[in-house]
């Protein structure tokens, strides 16, 4: 399939696909006419990349998942390197949640203090 069809089938853009190619995440074969040619395996790679980036993974973090699929595994997370990326991302998310909870607690405390100060006398 050509780049436009690949983009359409996965709901992305040809520009994104060319960018993935520039990063080495996607490899296009060239037809006799010089146009990029892709197959169902490429569609699977693009779907994996987009699924992961859709939940907050950086493009570079998708590399082990893509390689796992290229190595013939049925799932991009069937390899130890992919599992390690999951662990690293989970730790990053846990840290972010902890920081957000602390910020929320601080804002809540400041709101309560402000509400106490803004009450009219005698109430």
- For the segment 65-105, what is each residue's pLDDT rounded down to a tens digit? 999 999 999 999 999 999 999 999 999 999 999 999 999 99
CATH of residue 110's domain is: 1.10.1660.10
Other beta carbons within 10 angstroms of residue 76's beta carbon come to: 24
HSE-up (13 A, CA, CB side) for residue 49: 25
Give how far Cα 77 sits from Cα of 1, 21, 40, Å.
26, 21, 19
User: Which residues span the domain enclosing 24?
Assistant: 3-118
Whether the CB-CB separation of 44 and 3 falls below 8 Å is answered with no
* Count of structural domains within the chain: 1
Per-residue pLDDT tens for 29-69? 998 898 999 999 999 999 999 999 999 999 999 999 999 99
Domain assignment present for 123: no
pTM: 0.84
């Amino acid at each position: 399939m050509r780049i436009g069809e690949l983009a359409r089938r996965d709901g992305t853009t040809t520009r994104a696909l060319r960018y993935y190619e520039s990063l080495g995440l996607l490899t296009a074969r060239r037809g006799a006419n010089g146009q990029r040619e892709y197959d169902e395996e490429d569609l699977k790679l693009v779907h994996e990349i987009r699924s992961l980036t859709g939940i907050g993974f950086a493009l570079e973090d998708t590399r082990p998942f893509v390689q796992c699929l290229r190595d013939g595994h049925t799932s991009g997370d069937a390899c130890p390197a992919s599992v390690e990326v999951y662990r690293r991302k989970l730790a990053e998310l846990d840290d972010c949640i902890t920081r957000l909870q602390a910020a929320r607690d601080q804002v809540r405390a400041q709101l309560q203090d402000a509400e106490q100060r803004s009450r009219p006398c005698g109430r």
